[in-house]
Amino acid sequence: MRNAARPGTHASPLNQVVADMAKIMSHRIAMDHPRFFGFIPSPVDENSFLGSILTTMYNVGAGSWYQSSGASTVEDSLIKWLAEQAGFPSSSGGIFVSGGSVANLTAIVTARDAKLQFEQRPKAVIYMSEQTHSSMAKGIVVAGFHRNQIRRVECDSNYRIKPSSLRQQIESDRKNGLIPFMIAATCGLTNTGGIDDLNGLADIAESENLWLHVDGAYGASILLSKTHRHCADGIGRADSLTWDAHKWLFQTYDCGLILVRDKRDLVESFATGASYIRDADEASSEKVNFWNRGIEMSRPARGMKLWFTLQRLGLDKVSDMIDHGVDLAEFAALVFRGFENWEILSPAQLGILNFRYVPPTSQLPGNGVDFDQFCDKVNAEISRLAVERDIAAPLTTRITKVLNLRMCTVSPHLSRNQLFEVIQSLDSVAKEVSASFVKKRILKI
Ligand SMILES: Cc1ncc(COP(=O)(O)O)c(C=O)c1O
C-alpha cells in the first residue's frame, strides 16, 4: 500500500487506477454496515452519496455569496430551518463545517470572544464532565487555554452533569478570582447516549451569565424525530449547538454544523475583511458570506447533500429512520435481560446501549483473581471474536471503572430479527470465552 502512494512518471491507465483505488479502500472498517455498532457508525443514506457527488461535480467555492449565491442561499435557509427545529430565535445562524470537533472549536472561540476580555483569558474556566467528548478539551487547548482551565463537574448516576455540583464549582472558582465563561453540555453522550439536564444547565448559564454550548454532534438529530424530540427539551436555550449530519442524519463525511443564538457573534470572531476579497465581501442579511462565520475561507457547500437527502426522503421517513435506531437499542436491552449473565450498565438512550457479560461465579478462576479484571478480559475477548468472526462489531469502552461492550444501533437497515440473532451469537461467544479462559488459565493478572 505504501508503494502505491508514489506517483509514476507516466500516466497510468484509468481502469488500473480505479482497480487500485478499490483495493486500497477494501481495507477498512465498514462504518455503514448494519452490524457495525462501534464509535458513532456512519449509516449513510444512498441519497447522500448522490448529493455529495453532485456537489463535488459543481465544485462551488461556498465561502462567499459572490462565488456561490445559489448554494449559499440554500445552505443558509437550511441552517435557519434546522435552527428552528432546535427552537433557536430568528437572530440565530451558523455554518456547515467538517464535523463535531471543528464545530465545538468554533463554539469555544465564539464564546471566548463574546464573554471574555483579552486580558481575562488566563483566568477563564470552562465546565464540562468526564463524559464530555474529547474534542471539547482539545478545542479549549487549540483556542489558547491551558488544560487546567477545564473543570470536570461531578455527574449523577446517569452520567449527567449535576447542576448542584456545577453551581458549587462556579462559586468556588469565583471566590478564587477565576472567571467562569462557558458550560459545555451534551445532547447524546458518545459513551451512553445520555443527555445532560439542558434546562437545569441553562438556568445556571442564565443566572451566572455564562455561555451555554450544547454538543449535539450525535444526539441533536433527535430533534427530527416526531416521537422522541421531547428528549432534547431545553436545547433551544443554548447559545451554541453542534449538530453533525454525518452521524445520525445519514450523511457522508464530512457534514457538521455549528449553530449560534446570535449569528453576529460568529462574524465578530471570524470575519477578516482582507483586501483581496473585497469584491466578494459585501454581505447583507440576504447575501451570506460563510467565510465570515467560520475558520475556512475556501469551503465546499457541505449542506447541499443534506438538502438533497431531505428533499428526497421527506421528513416522515427521516423521523422513522431515527426512531428505528432508538427502538433497536431498547429492543437490545430487552433481549439481553432475557439472557442469563448479561448486565446492562447504562439503559438504552438515543440508540446507545452499554452492557457486559458477567460469567457465573462457578466459572471464576479463583486463586485471588480480581473479578472485575476477569470480566474485563472476557468482554474484550467477546468483542474481538465478534469482529473476527464477522458476527458484529460491538466495541468496548469504560463508563465506570469496568470495561463494557457498547452498541450504537443507528442503522436503518438492521431489523429487530437480525439484532436478535446478533445477540444470540454474542451469548454463545461469551459462554465459549469465559469457559476457555478458566480452562486454559490464560489469565495472567
Ligand atoms: C458528542 C460528540 N461530539 C463531538 C464529536 C466529534 O465529531 P467529529 O468526529 O465529527 O469531529 C463526536 C464524535 O463521535 C461526538 O460523539
Q: What is the pLDDT along the chain (445 residues), one digit of tens a residue?
A: 888 888 999 999 999 999 999 999 999 999 999 999 999 999 999 999 999 999 999 999 999 999 999 999 999 999 999 999 999 999 999 999 999 999 999 999 999 999 999 999 999 999 999 999 999 999 999 999 999 999 999 999 999 999 999 999 999 999 999 999 999 999 999 999 999 999 999 999 999 999 999 999 999 999 999 999 999 999 999 999 999 999 999 999 999 999 999 999 999 999 987 888 888 877 677 889 999 999 999 999 999 999 999 999 999 999 999 999 999 999 999 999 999 999 999 999 999 999 999 998 776 666 667 888 889 999 999 999 999 999 999 999 999 899 999 999 999 999 999 999 999 999 999 999 998 887 765 545 4
Query: Within a domain: residue 16?
Result: no
Same domain, 273 and 369: no
Specify the ligand 1 atom closest to the Cα of 186: 1
Domain termination residue (choose one: 262, 281, 313): 313
Domain termination residue (choose one: 313, 340, 361): 313
The closest alpha carbon to 265, from 292, 295, 304, 291, belongs to 292
Same domain, 308 and 351: no
Cα 251 to ligand 1 centre (Å) = 14
Specify the ligand 1 atom closest to the Cα of 189: 1
Specify the ligand 1 atom closest to the Cα of 102: 11
> Whose alpha carbon is nearest atom 16 of ligand 1?
190
Same domain, 118 and 244: yes
Rounded Cα–Cα distance for residues 324 and 318 (Å): 10
Same domain, 131 and 236: yes
Q: Which of 39, 42, 128, 244 to mutate to test the pocket of ligand 1 (most atoms within 8 A of CB)?
A: 244
- Whole domain around residue 186: which residue ranges? 60-313
The model's pLDDT over 27-44, given as tens digits with 9 standing for 90+, comes to: 999 999 999 999 999 999
Cα 410 to ligand 1 centre (Å) = 15
Cα 283 to ligand 1 centre (Å) = 31
The model's pLDDT over 343-393, given as tens digits with 9 standing for 90+, comes to: 999 999 999 999 999 998 776 666 667 888 889 999 999 999 999 999 999
